[in-house]
Amino acid sequence: MKNLSLENLSKTYFDPYAGTTVNAVQDVSLNVDAGDFVAVVGPSGCGKTTILNMIAGFVPISGGRVLVGGKEVKGPGPDRGVVFQSFALFPWKTVAENVTFGPKMRGVGKAERAKIAQEYLALAGLSHAADRYPNELSGGMQQRVGVVRALANNPDVLLMDEPFASVDAQTRMTLQEELTRIWEERRPTIIFITHDVSEAVFLANRVVVLSKGNVLKEVDIDLPRPRSWDRLVEDGDFKALSNKVLQLVRSA
């Protein structure tokens, strides 16, 4: 795992309908230490998904740099694992084949891949579903596959783009708890995009509030781990922090 830093990252694009240039992201600088967990929140249109797409290399950067472990990145690469809101699993591959897709692309042999599949499916509690196709799984199970597919490729940083936004509320809470457990076990560097304030506060060590393409404020979340909803839902510190972040987002 390595650190991720954004240096004066900007994105401008031309809006053909309005006939004007739009600054979606302006001068965003941010450092995520190796093994840290940072959440980025902000109202819709604040540029948070654009930032993630630039880090992942899916869209060109207009200005500034993205560095992973001190090295500037250009275009998409296996050093940055991505978890998508739409899961983006390969429908024609079984769960095990999805999870070992990255290793397969690296040329890892079949026997080794089987071991990787076993390890990561166990991590996600999906050992029983190894040979099933994604469309045979519930949304929550599909996103568990999405998370371990990214992890199984040993990325330097993990980019998560509203990964739990399209599952139901109960499943979402379970997935959030599982993600904190996995993070504590393996300590990947995570940048987590969300519009859900309590999700950000629950998961992260630090919450970055964005507003109109700028960093409005960074809030440290010093809640003890392991975290669980049973305990935190009535916790005074959690409520105070959530409230603080919520006020920032609403003022944004």
Q: Which residues in this chain contact another protein in the complex, by CB under 8 A?
A: 56-58, 75-78, 80-82, 84, 86, 88-92, 101-102, 105-106, 133-136, 149-150, 153
245 contacts: CB under 8 Å, gap ≥ 6: 41, 197, 200, 201, 207, 209, 219
Query: In the complex with another protein, which residue's Cβ is closer, 136 or 168?
Result: 136
- Identity of the residue, 108 or 252, whose beta carbon is nearer to another protein in the bound complex: 108
Within 133-168, residue ranges assigned H as helices are 139-151
Please report how close the Cβ of residue 141 comes to another protein at its closest, in angstroms.
14
Q: Which is nearer to another protein, 106 or 187 (CB)?
A: 106
What the block records as the tokens of 96 is 């095990």
Shortest CB 86 distance to another protein, Å: 6
Query: Minimum CB separation from another protein for residue 232, in Å?
Result: 32
Contact partners, residue 210, CB within 8 Å, separation at least 6: 28, 40, 41, 42, 46, 47, 48, 51, 216, 252
Beta strand 214-220 with 206-211 is antiparallel
Number of Cβ atoms within 10 Å of the Cβ of 169: 7
Least distance CB 191 / another protein (angstroms): 13
CB of 163 to another protein, least distance (A): 12
State which residue, 43 or 57, has the beta carbon closest to another protein.
57
When the beta carbons of 44 and 135 are compared against another protein, the nearer one is: 135
Contact indicator for 73, 57 with CB cutoff of 8 Å:
yes
